Amino acid sequence: MEVKYDVEQFNSIVRNRRSIYPYQYEKGKVIPDEIIWQILENANRAPNHKQTEPWRFTVFTSEGLAYFANLQASVYKQYSGTNFNKGRHQKLLDYPLMASHVIAIGMKRNVANKLPEVEEIMATACAVENMFLTVTAYGLGCYWSTASITYFEEAKQYFDLGNDDKLLGFFYIGYVAKPFEIPSKRKAIQEKVKWIDKNIST
């Protein structure tokens, strides 16, 4: 069998994919826009049932990072109620300014196709995994966060999302100040697989 791609290199990219947090980025170092567009183009190649392409992205960079920081902090303060945490509020203001780009991840529901909502969410998650792998291939760092205003219904309007849509978090990207050489730990895949290679009759 002819192998078209460098499989070992791809396996290495998958193995070394990991979450790297904004405080681990080189502050002030900006990733070229053409790399960000390539990351988004690869996201756009994700599998999706009936070609609904439900993923929607809003990119913040440069002065847009401060806008996003103030936006999410404001929404959190306004709607968190008794769950308001001062430390978390401050982190919402600080984290975006540590990144080169922040990408809001949205799922645009295609109601006409009558697909189960979970399929649209899974498709969008596949798009994000493509982003993760592309970022890793470029030697950059990224982090998919759902800890801010992701699950606030009131936040969706700021990302052109309607009642049937979902805000699925925020994707932080930056140059890594101290690169990691050890892959993140996983339990053996054999512990999570049931392998059937013969007919099982009941």
- Specify the CATH class of 25-178 in words: alpha beta
State the pLDDT confidence band at 20, using cuts at 50, 70 and 90: very high
Rounded to whole angstroms, the maximal C-alpha distance in the chain is 64
| Tens digits of residue pLDDT in 93-149 | 999 999 999 999 999 998 777 899 999 999 999 999 999 999 999 999 999 999 889
CB 100 within 8 A of CB 29: yes
| Range from 56-60, 101-105, 145-149, 157-161 carrying the lowest mean pLDDT | 145-149
Distance in angstroms (rounded) separating the CA atoms of residues 75 and 148: 9
Residue ranges covered by each domain of the chain? 25-178
Burial-class residue 115 by CB neighbours within 10 Å (0-12, 13-18, 19+).
middle
CB 43 within 8 A of CB 125: no
**Residue 9 backbone zone (phi > 0: left; psi -120 to 50: alpha; other: beta):** alpha
Whether residue 181 is predicted with pLDDT greater than 80 in this model: the reply is: no
The chain-wide mean pLDDT, for the chain, equals: 94
What per-residue confidence (pLDDT) applies to 202?
Answer: 65
Whether residue 178 is predicted with pLDDT greater than 90 in this model: the reply is: no
For the residues of 45-70, what is the DSSP string, one character each? T---GGG---EEEEEEETHHHHHHHH
CB 141 within 8 A of CB 135: yes
What per-residue confidence (pLDDT) applies to 185?
Answer: 85
* pTM score, whole prediction: 0.94
